């Protein structure tokens, strides 16, 4: 199937009538925020799936999250955070079960998913073949602001994500489009590792919390100066549709002369835009960087109302 529309909805008005809900249970308390908002209110038959991390089962808010999901009737599937294979299998199976539903509505809460996981969800949608269209809502709950850590663990995983590899011949130079986060030097390290000829930077401004911006600018100062004004873009965090269109426009503009790689180190919402943009232009590659099991667990609490992004697939 192919993504045909993308728009942003008001969160509170639209949380009903789903045929399938897919969420994740990890160590952050924001993982259950959307599920708790929905509660038991679904009137019709709805399949509820929770992808449960095989790692960090006792850390932070994990036990409570598991209990809440179980109480709300979510069926749990244990998946490794780094792997897309198990998630692909679970989601593809759930989508297949909707074959007889005329225009199914699906909710995917990516708040506590890894990039490999929500990438697998998008890939499963792309691989799906069906006659009628599909409405997929992606929900994302922001985390309460915490200052950036002094140190971050070295990368254990760097490379393209399954289904988003581009595989283009090296006849054109590489352009890296990077969504900035606030780990010091992590972005510049990736940039030097990948060694692109052009680097284009994105960061949220205004952000969900104004305290994020100075930190992002400070830890990425050298990279931002090196990229130059023409290659640094800001997007309004609260306006997902505008951010998506900006990323799509910049990516498409570059694909004629460059081999584009997208990588998000910032909010997961930006990571989702990357997957959706790459689903439309298959030359684009998506990379992830991660310390894998060595990321230090932190209980990110929900902040504000979740973002709800409506996509339609045909």
Partner 1 sequence: MISTPIYGAFNARWLSFEDVARTFVPVPQFLQLGHESHSVLLGPRGCGKTTLLKMLTRQALDSWDCSGRAERFKTSFTRPRYEAIYISSDVRWSYELTSLPETAGLSAGLSVQAQRIMVSSNALLSILEATQCIIGAGSGTEVAISASLITQWRLVGTLKSIADIKATLGRMVAEIRGHLNVGDVSKLKCAFDSVPPSFYGHTLDAPTGAIAIISEHLPSELRPSSWALCYDELEIAPPWLRTELLEALRSANQNVFLKLTWSPLLPSGLRTSPESAADFKAIRLWHSHVIDPRSFCDELTRDFLRERFPGIEMTPDGFFRRSVLAAEGDEEPPESYQQGSTEYEVFKELASWDKSFRLLLSDRKIDPDNPVPKSLAEKDQFFRKVKPVALLRLEFMANKGARSRKRPAIYAGKEAVYAMSEGNPRWLRGLLNDFADLGARGGSRLTEPLFVRYADQARLLNTACQRFLALIKASPFKLPNQHASMSGEQDGTLFEFVNVAGAYFNAQIYGREFPLDPVGSFSVPGNADQITVAVIEQLLELGGLVYIGSSPQDVPIAIRGSRFRLSFILAPIHKLPLRTYREAPLDDVLMGLHDKQQMKLF
Distance CA 175, CA 190 (A): 13
Of residues 127 and 146, the one with the C-beta less far from partner 1:
127
Letters for 85-114 (x = contact with partner 1 by CB under 8 A, - = none) are: x-----------------------------
Of residues 147 and 169, the one with the C-beta less far from partner 1:
169
Kind of pairing between the strands at 134-143 and 105-109: parallel
Q: Is 35 within 8 Å of 23 (Cβ atoms)?
A: yes
The reply on whether position 119 binds partner 1 by CB under 8 A is no
Binding to partner 1 in span 46-65, by CB under 8 A: none
Q: Which region among 100-108, 136-144, 193-201, 230-238 touches partner 1 (by CB under 8 A)?
A: 193-201
Of residues 214 and 222, the one with the C-beta less far from partner 1:
222
What is the closest distance, in whole angstroms, from the C-beta atom of residue 71 to partner 1 in the complex? Answer: 31
Closest CA to 240 of 209, 215, 264, 268: 268
The secondary structure of 67-116, three-state, reads HHHHHCCCEEEEECCCCCHHHHHHHHHHHHCCCCCCCCEEEEECCCCCHH
Q: Which region among 15-23, 65-73, 105-113, 189-197 touches partner 1 (by CB under 8 A)?
A: 189-197
Binding to partner 1 in span 12-41, by CB under 8 A: none
The reply on whether position 162 binds partner 1 by CB under 8 A is yes
Of residues 224 and 307, the one with the C-beta less far from partner 1:
224
Among 92, 157, 217, 231, binds partner 1 (CB under 8 A): 157
Task: For residue 1, give Cα distances in angstroms to 46, 93, 126, 135, 252.
Answer: 22, 16, 5, 11, 20
Among 4, 78, 127, 242, binds partner 1 (CB under 8 A): 127
**What three-state secondary structure class fits 144?**
coil
User: What are the structure tokens assigned to 199, written together?
Assistant: 């680097």
Cβ-proximal residues to 280 (8 Å cutoff; 6+ apart), any chain? 2, 3, 248
The reply on whether position 149 binds partner 1 by CB under 8 A is no
Letters for 258-277 (x = contact with partner 1 by CB under 8 A, - = none) are: -x-x----------------
Letters for 221-250 (x = contact with partner 1 by CB under 8 A, - = none) are: xxx-xx------------------------
Q: Which region among 15-23, 31-39, 80-88, 304-312 touches partner 1 (by CB under 8 A)?
A: 80-88
The reply on whether position 314 binds partner 1 by CB under 8 A is no
Question: How many other CB atoms sit within 10 Å of the CB of residue 300?
Answer: 22
Kind of pairing between the strands at 47-53 and 75-79: parallel
Please give the torsion angle defined by the CA atoms of residues 230, 236, 240 and 245, in that order, rounded to the nearest 10 degrees.
-30
Closest CA to 106 of 14, 30, 37, 41: 14
Binding to partner 1 in span 277-296, by CB under 8 A: 282-283, 285, 289, 292-293
The reply on whether position 186 binds partner 1 by CB under 8 A is yes
Q: At what angle do helices 115-127 and 268-280 cross, to 10 degrees?
A: 30
What is the closest distance, in whole angstroms, from the C-beta atom of residue 281 to partner 1 in the complex? Answer: 11
Q: At what angle do helices 240-255 and 268-280 cross, to 10 degrees?
A: 50
Q: Which region among 109-117, 141-149, 150-158, 207-215 touches partner 1 (by CB under 8 A)?
A: 150-158
Give the binding site for partner 1 (CB under 8 A). Answer: 80, 82, 85, 126-127, 154-171, 173-174, 185-186, 188-197, 199, 221-223, 225-226, 259, 261, 282-283, 285, 289, 292-293
């Amino acid at each position: 199937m192919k993504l045909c529309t993308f728009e942003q909805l008001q969160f509170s008005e639209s949380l009903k009538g789903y045929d399938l809900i897919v969420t994740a249970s990890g160590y952050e308390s924001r993982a259950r925020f959307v599920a708790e908002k929905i509660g038991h209110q679904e009137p019709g038959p709805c399949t509820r799936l929770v992808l449960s991390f095989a790692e960090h089962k006792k850390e932070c808010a994990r036990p409570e999250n598991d209990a809440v999901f179980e109480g709300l009737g979510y069926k749990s599937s244990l998946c490794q955070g780094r792997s897309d294979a198990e998630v692909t299998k679970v989601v593809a199976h759930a989508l297949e079960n909707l074959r007889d539903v005329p225009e199914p509505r699906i909710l995917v809460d990516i708040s506590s998913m890894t990039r490999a996981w929500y990438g697998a969800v998008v890939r499963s949608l792309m691989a799906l073949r069906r006659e009628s269209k599909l409405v997929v809502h992606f929900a994302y709950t922001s985390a309460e602001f915490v200052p950036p850590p002094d140190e971050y663990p070295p990368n254990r995983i760097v490379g393209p994500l399954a289904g988003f590899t581009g595989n283009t011949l090296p006849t054109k130079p590489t352009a890296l489009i990077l969504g900035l986060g606030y780990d010091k030097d992590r972005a510049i390290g990736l940039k030097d590792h990948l060694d692109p000829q052009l680097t284009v930077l994105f960061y949220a401004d205004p952000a969900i919390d104004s305290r994020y911006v100075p930190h992002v600018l400070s830890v990425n100062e050298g990279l931002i100066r090196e990229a130059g004004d023409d290659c640094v873009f800001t997007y309004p965090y609260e306006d997902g549709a505008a951010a998506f269109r900006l990323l799509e426009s910049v990516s498409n503009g570059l694909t004629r002369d460059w081999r584009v790689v997208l990588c998000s180190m910032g909010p997961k919402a930006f990571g989702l835009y990357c997957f959706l943009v790459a689903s439309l232009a298959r030359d684009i590659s998506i990379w992830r960087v991660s310390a894998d099991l060595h990321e230090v667990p932190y209980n990110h609490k929900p902040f504000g109302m979740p973002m709800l992004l409506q996509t339609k697939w045909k």
